[in-house]
């Protein structure tokens, strides 16, 4: 038995897009847990009237943003080179922005 298959268990854990695809192919119920702040930031932004457009990794986020008149969210480390939107991804920043 391969310990990584998790066959004996009803609840299985996996990671990333391949794991999601395999779970969907098995007909599993998927529960996505985002341990980072991004999902909280999205929920906060939407709550305050923001519109979030997801962009697949294979797509061009700049082209998408230009086509809808939006801004590209970038990694915090990339803000000096690529944009200013990243700092707003923190939930606390989104709440602050809504009070302005």
- Candidates 71, 98, 96; CA nearest to 86 is 71
Closest CA to 29 of 10, 6, 15: 10
More confident residue, 73 or 89: 73
Contact of 68 with 53, CB cutoff 8 Å: yes
The count of structural domains within the chain is 2
Residues 44 and 90 in one domain: yes
Residues 77 and 94 in one domain: yes
Same domain (yes/no): 24, 43: no
Model pLDDT for residues 7-16, shown as the tens digit of each residue: 777 777 777 7
- Does 11 share its domain with 60? no
Stated length of the chain: 100
Average pLDDT, the chain: 74
* 54 and 76 together in one domain: yes
The parent domain of residue 13 ranges over 1-31
Q: Is the pLDDT of residue 35 over 70?
A: no
CA dihedral of 69, 54, 37, 9, whole degrees rounded to 10: 180
Are residues 5 and 47 both part of a single domain? no
pLDDT of 92 strictly over 70? no
């Amino acid at each position: 038995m391969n310990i990584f298959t998790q066959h004996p268990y009803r609840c299985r854990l996996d990671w990333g897009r391949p794991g999601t695809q395999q779970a969907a192919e098995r007909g599993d119920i998927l529960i996505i847990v985002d341990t980072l702040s991004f999902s909280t930031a999205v929920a906060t932004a939407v709550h305050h009237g923001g519109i979030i457009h997801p962009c697949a990794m294979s797509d061009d986020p700049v082209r998408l943003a230009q086509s809808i008149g939006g801004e590209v969210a970038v990694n915090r480390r990339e803000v000096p080179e690529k944009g200013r939107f990243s700092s707003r991804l923190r939930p606390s920043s989104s709440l602050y922005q809504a009070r302005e």
